[in-house]
A and B are shown apart, each in its own frame.
Chain A
């Protein structure tokens, strides 16, 4: 469904992403794990059209995306809950959701659906989003991306800065979203949580994919366990 081939991305003179290829099949959860600065966010930014790659291709159902503007990529069916949540703090929860569904005409049922996923957003719909807790902001970021009705949703470190209990809730909801038909590309430093819910995984190190396999195999891979799961 989503296919990245030989992607190279530069930041100024520095090559941040080197020859990355990965694919996400319809209905999958694919986790991309790696350390801080490995290039995970850069890949997502390149997919979403925020950063033009040097070379390589990104296609969704065969349609080339690399030349499209960011807002048109959303229309093609890819939306993103960006790094550090990126909610609009000056807008209310409701207005944030309205923006998430900007490309569509939202019905009350659309809102009810995300309020069903995250009841706390429903309770706080008129609250200014900047006053939400970190977990609630992450819920809002995911809901907002969902309202674009994407074929593939990109999630950039949803566990960042959240308490373990809230991370658990968020990851359960990601599974639920996936079961209801949205394909997920999940970028995480929290390798354990990310691989546990994923079908397949990729490991990225300094801009290159060094490993890819079924998620449960990666969970039991010695190198992965040493490097990312804190085991010796």
Chain B
């Protein structure tokens, strides 16, 4: 009898298989099975929560079985639940469950709805595999599986060329990251002798790190010191994180991924899959912590991504793209927090972000559903038409902007607090100043979105209506979560203590506590007012014409509007360097492989055949003579 956690993991897979094998004829049954699978997982997960709060950092459940092996190498497939994975499980199954219900309303009437739910179930299974994994190989397998699910879901509207392109872009960009990720896994496996997290942590003794790890060419040859090994391996593993969590410079796929259905954007590209990178960083924290170089890389990459994405978000007009860039920015915050040693802060922000960002995406989905456009210039004044959606959207925005009292305030200020007192390796402008600027920008672009979508005169076409209950009820639940998460910490210090301890890997530095005191609140309010006020002045009161700001900023605005030209640089690289390289390869293929090797061997065969055919004279006598010559030759050779 397999125990509970295995059910969490495999029920969605069973659901996907069932839908694929025949349930898809009946879309209601398909949806019901899919929703039931994820909610069953959620309830089993909840049963572990009391244990987690009392057990603290310990492992709550760990089983694994031999999956494959060769010689001494063994690949295991495991289910590991500790505080970190439990937190992630709650987010994946909880938010996932709500989004499943929302999807029921959003996708209703779509001809491929059964397929959609099958893909969602497959995604949930893949994602849970990452969360449960107790070794790097399992993580890698599921890493690729979520990549596939993401590909399938982004390209869900497969008749739309842009959706197919976006799916390919996401997949290919992730391949780049996964390439480094795989090399990193192999390096770690080679050096540490195991891919098991506990085993890896145990193998990383100070003596191990003091010696040379990769020795090539004897005593005078090239060798890699323990310190170098750590940050090189960590950096390669970080490439996987960059791809999956869309960190600069591999972020380009995420905004395009918004071509998928909105529930997918909410579930995969805001709440769960993109957070897998942050989760992995926390899992591998023991690997990064001893290396200041690695930690510094992570922190700076995150800080830059946060700022970079926020600047782009200020210029976009597609509602889902704004949210996508906002997601990039918030992921940057989380990655930066890990780099600064605050895994608990990162996980906390991951959780709250999952709530309010999922709510924002779902709200955006409701709006899109109502007005049939993504462009915020064709919205406006929707506040009166869709009140429930508006209020949930508004509160979630406040939470995202870190308005005091809402969940984003607790989590974001936890991170900003880290940046205010950075470790020595991260004491740079990028860490100390930019995150605060980013927070201001966050308020600005979010309220720009709010004012353009919900306030002002109506610019929409048709007759929009409030979303159906199946769509707004998850919004309400998520808004509730976005509001209340954090307050429990305020009122109950023990809960906060427990949360912080269970999401902190062994050996991580002591967390910085956020105190709900006046300076913190004032600081948060300053940030909020600055950003929201600017948006209010420009987009609500229209005292300043946004066009004038554009012209005044000139090149800076163009830089932001063109997404810092990253996509253009990639296009240029592909067009000029990669294409030419491909032509070179093609030339080599044509000349050397095809002309010389393939055709050449065919020609050689034919020519030697023609030569040998001359001896096939048809004269039996000649054959006898040749036969005799052969026998004589054999006899002579053996003498």
Chains A and B bind each other: no
Interface residues of chain A, those whose CB is within 8 Å of chain B, are none
Interface residues of chain B, those whose CB is within 8 Å of chain A, are none
